[in-house]
Amino acid sequence: MSRIDVRKTYKLYIGGAFPRSESGYSYEVLDSKGKFVANASLASRKDARDAVGAARKAFGGWSGRTAYNRGQILYRIAEIMEDRRPQFVQAVVQSEGLSAARADKVVDEAIDRLVWYAGWADKVTQVLGNTNPVAGPYFNLSSPEPTGVVAVLAPQESSLLGLVSVVAPVVVTGNTVVVVSSYERPLPAVTFAEVLATSDVPGGVVNVLTGSAATVAPWLAAHMDVNAIDLVGVAGEPALATDLEVAAADNLKRVRRAPAAEPDWSAEPGLEPMTAFLETKTVWHPIGV
Partner 1 sequence: MTATSTTPGQAQGSGFEDVTRTDASLRRFLHGLPGVDQVGAESRAAGLGTRSIKTSAKAYAIDLAIRMVDLTTLEGQDTPGKVRALAAKAMRPDPADPTCPQVAAVCVYPDMVATVKETLGSSGVKVAAVATAFPSGRAALDIKLADTRDAVEAGADEIDMVIDRGAFLAGRYQQVFDEIVATKAACARPDGHDAHLKVIFETGELQTYDNVRRASWLAMMAGADFIKTSTGKVQPAATLPVTMVMLEAVRDFRDQTGTMVGVKPAGGIRTSKDAIKYLVMVNEVVGQDWLDPDWFRFGASTLLNDLLMQRTKMTTGRYSGPDYFTLD
CB 139 within 8 A of CB 282: no
CA atoms of 210 and 190, how far apart (whole Å): 8
Among 23, 32, 56, 69, binds partner 1 (CB under 8 A): 56
Within residues 91-130, the interface with partner 1 by CB under 8 A covers none
- Least separation in angstroms between residue 167's CB and partner 1 is 22
In terms of DSSP bridges, do strands 26-30 and 36-41 run parallel, antiparallel, or are they unpaired? antiparallel
- Least separation in angstroms between residue 266's CB and partner 1 is 36
- Nearer Cβ to partner 1 (115/214): 214
3-state helix, strand, coil in the chain (%, to 5): 45, 20, 35
Element (H, E) at 105: helix 100-120
- Least separation in angstroms between residue 48's CB and partner 1 is 8
- Nearer Cβ to partner 1 (71/218): 218
Q: How many CA atoms lie within 13 A of 96 on its CB side?
A: 27
- Nearer Cβ to partner 1 (151/205): 151
52 binds partner 1 (CB under 8 A): yes
Of 217, 223, 215, 204, the C-alpha closest to 14 is 204
Alpha-carbon Rg of the chain, whole angstroms? 20
CA atoms of 280 and 55, how far apart (whole Å): 21
- Least separation in angstroms between residue 45's CB and partner 1 is 8
Within residues 145-204, the interface with partner 1 by CB under 8 A covers none
- Nearer Cβ to partner 1 (11/223): 223
CA atoms of 133 and 162, how far apart (whole Å): 40
Within residues 72-91, the interface with partner 1 by CB under 8 A covers none
Of 221, 205, 183, 179, the C-alpha closest to 62 is 205
Within residues 201-240, the interface with partner 1 by CB under 8 A covers 219, 222-226
- Least separation in angstroms between residue 125's CB and partner 1 is 25
- Nearer Cβ to partner 1 (41/227): 227
CA atoms of 88 and 2, how far apart (whole Å): 27
- Nearer Cβ to partner 1 (186/204): 204
Site size for partner 1 (CB under 8 A) = 12
Contact positions vs partner 1 (CB under 8 A): 49, 52, 56, 219, 222-226, 247, 250-251
